[in-house]
Amino acid sequence: MGSEPGLRLVHAREPADVDVLVGQVALGDSAAFEQLYDEVGSMVYGVARRVVRDPARAEDVTQEVFLDVWRKAPGFDLERGSAKTWIMTIAHRRAVDAVRRNEAQKKYDEHAGVPDEVHHDAADDRLIAAEEHGAVRDCLETLTALQLESVRLAYFNGYTYPEVATLLDKPLPTIKTRMRDGLIRLRDCLETPR
């Protein structure tokens, strides 16, 4: 019995060992991180999508999960469970947190009143704005080139993340990760007392 004409046998690629990849990520291996994302990214997104329902929010949760994985990989203990289980646990927790934040925001919005207008002196406003702009400029200088370019295109030029990815000829997940890392670095820098 031969195979039917026009059909050919295609072997699926061997799945990567997620435990090994997380070990490499713990050592700062960005190529292993990308491979890990390719290996389990759709599963993480699936968990997030089932919990938060909204596709865009599920993408955000997925990015938060991989940011956590990058940061926490050095502390991962294989004796406590598999890397895949660890990642899926992070995904579920992040998704539940996102739903809770959303519900809390809805409740706040329902109960929040409109504050009375506060009038400021124009000179004081200009001085505060100048100080804030200087601080932002200083903090922008702490970003990597890709983070800086991504943040400028998205926040100063108004491009969407997919448009930034196209303009910089980088994969969308890479842009989202660099953008998130850059914004966290900016936040931390701006919150540091000067």
For the chain, percent of residues with pLDDT exceeding 70 = 78
In what helix (H) or strand (E) does residue 33 lie, and over which residues does it extend? helix 30-52
Q: Looking at the domain assignment, is residue 81 inside a domain?
A: yes
Q: Looking at the domain assignment, is residue 170 inside a domain?
A: yes
In what helix (H) or strand (E) does residue 23 lie, and over which residues does it extend? helix 18-26
**27 lies in the same domain as 101:** yes
Our count of domains for the chain comes to 2
Q: What is the Cα–Cα distance from 103 to 52, expressed in whole angstroms?
A: 11
The CATH number covering residue 65 comes to: 1.10.1740.10
Q: Looking at the domain assignment, is residue 9 inside a domain?
A: no
Domain that holds residue 26: 18-108
Q: What is the mean pLDDT of residues 161-178?
A: 86
CA distances from 93 to 59, 130, 162, 183 (A): 15, 40, 27, 22
Q: What is the pLDDT of residue 68?
A: 92
Beta strand spans in 21-143 (E): none
pTM of the model: 0.50
Q: What is the pLDDT of residue 193?
A: 66
Q: What is the Cα–Cα distance from 151 to 145, expressed in whole angstroms?
A: 10
Burial class, 26, CB count within 10 angstroms (exposed 0-12 / middle 13-18 / buried 19+): middle
Q: Which tens digits make up the pLDDT trace of 103-156?
A: 877 777 776 654 545 555 565 566 555 566 667 777 878 888 888 888 777 777
Q: What is the pLDDT of residue 167?
A: 82
Structural domain ending residue among the three candidates 108, 139, 161: 108
Q: Looking at the domain assignment, is residue 6 inside a domain?
A: no
Structural domain ending residue among the three candidates 75, 108, 141: 108
CA distances from 115 to 11, 105, 172 (A): 64, 17, 39
Q: Note the Cα 129 to chain centre separation in Å.
A: 29
